[in-house]
Structure 1
Amino acid sequence: MGMDPGLRRLALGTLLAAYPGPTPPDWALDLVGAGLAGYTLFGTNVETPAQVAAATAALRAVRADVLVAIDEEGGDVTRLAHATGSPFPGNAALGAVGDVALTRRVYAAIGAELAALGITVDLAPTVDVNSVDENPVIGTRSFGADPLLVAAHTAAAIDGLQDTGVAACAKHFPGHGATVADSHLELPTVDVPLAVLRERDLPPFAAAVTAGTQAIMTAHIRVPVLTGERPATFSRAVLVDLLRRELGFTGTVITDALEMKGASVAAGGVGPAAVAALAAGADLLCVGAKVDAALVEHVVAEIVAALGDGRLARDRVEEAAGRTAELAAWTRTTDGPAPDHGDLGYAAARRAVLVEGIVAGLDRPLVVQVHATATMAEGRVPWGLGPHLTEAEEFRVVAGETDPAALRALAGDRPVVLVGRHLHRLPGGAELVEELAAVHPVTVVEMGWPGRWRPAGVRAFVATYGASHANGRAAAEVLGLIR
């Protein structure tokens, strides 16, 4: 006895899958015809604008209302510009500038680019309040540490994006900003009373709801007061009581990727995670990045089995599929090339640069980029000053394996510019900077979240609030390294 085709179609209507490579394979097109809600595009799906437009057109040719989503936050998390780095600064830089009209313009430019490529949902903005300096997964993806500032920029970002017909998805509910663990790898815990969440983490989500965000993404974090031992993605107290009833959200609840360890380990696999998320009140399930037809069928079979044995009520899954269809009906795509946004992103990044100390007179310095690992959200995107340098030599090092005396010898009579992301978090990073600065002119360019750490003895400390292509160019300009 085969699966009931009506139930299979219903289950597929709640799934956001992924496919490998630049062109949707036949199985991916077949699933759209069978009712799959849509796909998320990742860096592996992006080569050129024309190629992306052709891929989304192929998906839409099968079913006009297929959802095509992407993580295009600008700044450090970019898929469209994964090969070069984003031409836009990310949220931390926009928050540092503090001009909500600028934030709106930047997000409208991102939206126009997505709409022209046939992408209908942007899994952005990140509206988490970065209340912990050492947060390993949010950091520069956040507008800042002040809930009211983050709320104001959240509303502006959503306005800008959704004006272009691209749905916004505010993330990660109920707030990933206070975590010191990465939910791609484990299940982080935010153990605070509800009053703290309401004051610190929820204002930006309330602002997102008021601004009319079409979607909100769940966080794979534990908030014991609400979720007990399980992540928010599986919590009715979070997704129904707090988000729907208290904040009044009527749009689509999208899960963060179910393959992330924060969800899959907690549930015992991606299939059970899908059932748990639907039961809790999620509408559209992001399966993950590494997806094939077999995984989609496995998840569908698990949802259909749960409908059969009473773990899932049919009206809950119909509600989820209905909200997902409403999201698709709201979006619109444009034909033709994206309008040219000129130097908007570069000018914005330049306004964000913080300079403490003296940056004049850096004639042909030795630029040293200190290696940093990337998070799963960021992926391997080029960063630093290298692509922008016309007047300096760049050298790459690993902090813990580098002798300050050797660097000094290499520099000779040239000043040194040390470029890093969270330099003080790298093993040996702070020591390398301060030992060199004690005997040599050093300027530090911090391209991560600038916390409280300031190295002793440096001529200048320059913070860019991000490591996008635009942030790198802004730093090179401020240092006088671009003529």
Structure 2
Amino acid sequence: MPADPTLDRLANATLLVPFESTAAPRWLLDGLADGIAGVCLFHNNIDLSDGPEALKGLTRALADVGGDPLISLDEEGGDVTRIGQAAGSGYPGNAALGAVDDTALTEDVHTALGAELRGLGLTVDLAPSVDVNTAADNPVIGTRSFGSDAALVARHGAAAVRGLQAAGVAAAAKHFPGHGATELDSHLDLPSVDASAELLRERELRPFRAAVEAGVLAVLTAHITLPALGVDGPATLSRRALVEVLRGELGFTGMVISDALDMDGVRRPIGMPEASVRALEAGCDLLCLGRYSYADEVAAVRAAIVEAVRSGRMPAARLEEAAERTAAVRRWTAAQGAPPQIPSDLGLDGARRAVQVVGEPLSPADLADPVVVELDAPAGIAVGEVPWGLAPWFPDTERITAEEDAPSRVLARASGRPLVAVVRDAHRFPATREFVSALCRVRPDAVVVEMGLPVWRPECRTHVRSHGAARVNGQSVAELLGGVPAPVR
């Protein structure tokens, strides 16, 4: 059957695609010119080593050829950062902001973050995460959440939406209907939230209702099931979740974005082209294809969508509706003016306010020339390889692995000197807890710094809680410990 340029262009209007490197390839430029709605940037697309000009040049080139496409990324601040890949984020993440519990600060931080993104030519932030993190062992949310209380998450999620959009960047509240009560990672599995419909509406849905009331332009889905709400497969593919609940119950009229369709929680065993069609049928308007879905994969998804309409499986009106919703957000982003001017130290000030000290107060005199060891922790898939810890401020910091090192060696090295042990989500790693406990049994005067969720407290003199591992969180702790100034970036 011959190609239908109109149908191909409609299909393109539902696609949010990745690409290979820091330069836009020809297939992408041609696709944007032919109506692809936008791109999603990842670490491999962003190089700020020589300043922002290369990224600005890339986003200008994309905008020029694509007629103001959606140029998006996952920039949550805190642990999940793309623009802060090299050194860590300059903004505290949601857990830190939730710990402070000042919605004015949350709004200001997100306005600052949005202003930086807008200045780089980015128009959509796949944030904030408004998941209520009630599962301590959640491997994918954790410090990305404002907290475990639905009311707190709702008010800070709304503040984050207002802040980003005040800066001219479209916000996307995620991960609908709520990924916080899961103990599986939807990058790898299909998690289920087994709670009553009443609890789900009061806990999981409450922050999304607040985001909708705050005027959020987009909502990003989750690849999770919620049987009590009648969502038996991935919510991304569920008309019950996206049309009856999100639009019907919560009153959302904006753009629904799928979470990445290359994730196993949605594409296994049906494959990404079929998952893309089902996501559109369910009510998604913009299909995020993930990180490694390039020219051939994009073509396969487009072909599957076109065939679904040609065969009568999916009404053309559904595709037209989705294309119009993406076009509306493109018009909104194109109409935004210059971003506001925000104080450059706002993120650091927020991170400082989030630090909590439990136990004996710290005295710089007691921490002169400390031995600092960091217990390594694997980064989640969403976080990726981003620097964390105290090494920029304590150059002799040693990164060790609990399974391969010995507490006795660390104790010998720290003989006669203050000892600081830095962990990240220690509650999730038994070997780390055992290692730190062994240190504290011999050195109860040790200081333990938790840069993840402070669920577990060891028997030590002082427990410092940063509520995140962003660069500004590390600096805030280092200042408390008397660390030397970090090198200028």
- The bucket for the TM-score relative to the shorter chain is over 0.9
Q: CA RMSD in A?
A: 1.5
Counterpart of 2:379 in structure 1 is: 374
Secondary structure of the residue that 1:169 maps to in structure 2?
strand
8 A contact 1:116–1:338 mirrored in 2: no
Counterpart of 1:99 in structure 2 is: 102
Counterpart of 1:435 in structure 2 is: 438
Q: Give the partner amino acid of 1:256.
A: D
- Which residue, 294, 297, 321 being the options, matches 1:295? 297
Secondary structure of the residue that 2:148 maps to in structure 1?
coil
Counterpart of 1:282 in structure 2 is: 284
| Aligned mates of 2:286, 2:188 — CA distance in 1 | 22
Deviation at 1:197, TM superposition (A): 0.6
1:89-135 deviation per Cα after TM superposition (whole angstroms, max 9, x unaligned): 10000010011000011000011111111111000000001111121
Counterpart of 1:209 in structure 2 is: 212
CA distance change for structure 1 residues 126 and 148 in 2, over 3 Å: closer, same or farther? same
| Aligned mates of 1:163, 1:83 — CA distance in 2 | 27
Deviation at 1:148, TM superposition (A): 0.7
Counterpart of 2:308 in structure 1 is: 306
TM-score calculated relative to the size of structure 2? 0.95
Counterpart of 2:248 in structure 1 is: 245
Counterpart of 2:6 in structure 1 is: 6
1:468 aligns with 2:470: yes
Counterpart of 1:175 in structure 2 is: 178
Secondary structure of the residue that 1:418 maps to in structure 2?
strand
Deviation at 1:332, TM superposition (A): 3.5
Q: Give the partner amino acid of 2:315.
A: A
1:417 aligns with 2:420: yes
8 A contact 2:218–2:256 mirrored in 1: yes
| Aligned mates of 2:335, 2:434 — CA distance in 1 | 51
Counterpart of 1:319 in structure 2 is: 321
Deviation at 1:169, TM superposition (A): 0.2
| Aligned mates of 2:484, 2:357 — CA distance in 1 | 17
| Aligned mates of 2:132, 2:173 — CA distance in 1 | 12
| Aligned mates of 1:436, 1:93 — CA distance in 2 | 27
1:345-380 deviation per Cα after TM superposition (whole angstroms, max 9, x unaligned): 111001000101222211111100111101111010
Counterpart of 1:166 in structure 2 is: 169
Counterpart of 2:458 in structure 1 is: 455
Counterpart of 2:87 in structure 1 is: 84
1:258-299 deviation per Cα after TM superposition (whole angstroms, max 9, x unaligned): 001111115x10000000100000100001111211111100
CA distance change for structure 1 residues 44 and 333 in 2, over 3 Å: closer, same or farther? farther
- Match runs of 1:254-403 below 5 Å: 254-266=257-269, 268-332=270-334, 339=341, 341-358=343-360, 359-360=362-363, 361-389=366-394, 393-403=396-406
Counterpart of 2:188 in structure 1 is: 185
Q: Give the partner amino acid of 2:254.
A: G
Q: Give the partner amino acid of 1:165.
A: G
Q: Give the partner amino acid of 2:439.
A: L
Q: Give the partner amino acid of 2:437.
A: E
| Aligned mates of 2:58, 2:92 — CA distance in 1 | 27
CA distance change for structure 1 residues 229 and 336 in 2, over 3 Å: closer, same or farther? closer
8 A contact 1:120–1:333 mirrored in 2: no
| Aligned mates of 1:50, 1:96 — CA distance in 2 | 35
TM-score calculated relative to the size of structure 1? 0.96
| Aligned mates of 1:205, 1:32 — CA distance in 2 | 31
Counterpart of 2:134 in structure 1 is: 131
CA distance change for structure 1 residues 334 and 224 in 2, over 3 Å: closer, same or farther? closer
| Aligned mates of 2:78, 2:436 — CA distance in 1 | 25
Q: Give the partner amino acid of 2:391.
A: G
The more displaced of 306-315 and 369-378 is 306-315
Deviation at 1:424, TM superposition (A): 3.3
8 A contact 1:75–1:91 mirrored in 2: yes
Q: Which runs of 5+ in 1 are unaligned?
A: none
Q: Which runs of 5+ in 2 are unaligned?
A: none
Secondary structure of the residue that 1:356 maps to in structure 2?
strand
Counterpart of 2:15 in structure 1 is: 15
Secondary structure of the residue that 2:403 maps to in structure 1?
helix
| Aligned mates of 2:441, 2:168 — CA distance in 1 | 54
8 A contact 1:137–1:375 mirrored in 2: yes
| Aligned mates of 1:219, 1:172 — CA distance in 2 | 5
8 A contact 1:170–1:217 mirrored in 2: yes
The more displaced of 322-331 and 306-315 is 306-315
1:41-69 deviation per Cα after TM superposition (whole angstroms, max 9, x unaligned): 11111112211111111011113221100
Q: Give the partner amino acid of 2:291.
A: A
- Which residue, 115, 121, 124 being the options, matches 2:124? 121
Counterpart of 1:446 in structure 2 is: 450
Secondary structure of the residue that 2:422 maps to in structure 1?
strand
Moved over 6 A (4+): 333-338
8 A contact 2:96–2:467 mirrored in 1: yes
Counterpart of 2:147 in structure 1 is: 144
8 A contact 2:173–2:218 mirrored in 1: yes
1:319-367 deviation per Cα after TM superposition (whole angstroms, max 9, x unaligned): 0111010011111477889846321111100100010122221111110
| Aligned mates of 1:186, 1:162 — CA distance in 2 | 33
Q: Give the partner amino acid of 1:388.
A: W
| Aligned mates of 1:263, 1:378 — CA distance in 2 | 20
1:109 aligns with 2:112: yes
Deviation at 1:482, TM superposition (A): 3.6
Counterpart of 1:53 in structure 2 is: 56
8 A contact 2:425–2:451 mirrored in 1: yes
Q: Give the partner amino acid of 2:115.
A: A
Counterpart of 2:483 in structure 1 is: 481
Secondary structure of the residue that 2:379 maps to in structure 1?
coil
When the two structures are aligned, how many residues end up with a matched partner?
478
| Aligned mates of 1:254, 1:464 — CA distance in 2 | 32
The more displaced of 56-65 and 22-31 is 56-65
Identity level (%): 52
| Aligned mates of 1:181, 1:59 — CA distance in 2 | 36
8 A contact 2:276–2:287 mirrored in 1: yes
| Aligned mates of 2:433, 2:168 — CA distance in 1 | 46
Deviation at 1:480, TM superposition (A): 2.0
1:66 aligns with 2:69: yes
Deviation at 1:2, TM superposition (A): 2.9
CA distance change for structure 1 residues 334 and 310 in 2, over 3 Å: closer, same or farther? closer
Q: Give the partner amino acid of 2:324.
A: G
| Aligned mates of 2:103, 2:202 — CA distance in 1 | 21
Deviation at 1:4, TM superposition (A): 1.2
